[in-house]
Amino acid sequence: MPKINKKAQDFLPEDLQVAINTFIEQFNIMEEYDLEHIPSDYVANLLETMSKYPEYNKVTMDLMELCKVDL
């Protein structure tokens, strides 16, 4: 899979931009080294940062749903 060359939009709060860009960077690392998943700390940081902004609640909830894993 090719590297994702996306970044968070400039209109987003700075901490949210950092969390999104860090998550994208980790996704690229996961793909580059053929890892099975992104370390949970990065996922948790993204969700925690997003949860500070009620206007993004729908996206946060959608991401949380995607993160559910059947054990």
How many domains is the chain built from? 1
Q: Is residue 3 part of a domain?
A: no
Predicted local distance difference test score (pLDDT) of residue 52 = 95
Predicted local distance difference test score (pLDDT) of residue 5 = 83
Q: Is 33 a residue whose pLDDT tops 90?
A: yes
Q: Is residue 22 part of a domain?
A: yes
User: What range defines the domain where residue 61 resides?
Assistant: 14-67
Q: Is residue 7 part of a domain?
A: no
SS3 2: coil
Predicted local distance difference test score (pLDDT) of residue 69 = 53
Mean pLDDT of 34-49: 92
The Cα 28–Cα 22 span in angstroms is: 10
Predicted local distance difference test score (pLDDT) of residue 66 = 82
Q: Is residue 23 part of a domain?
A: yes
Q: Is 71 a residue whose pLDDT tops 50?
A: no
Q: Is residue 37 part of a domain?
A: yes
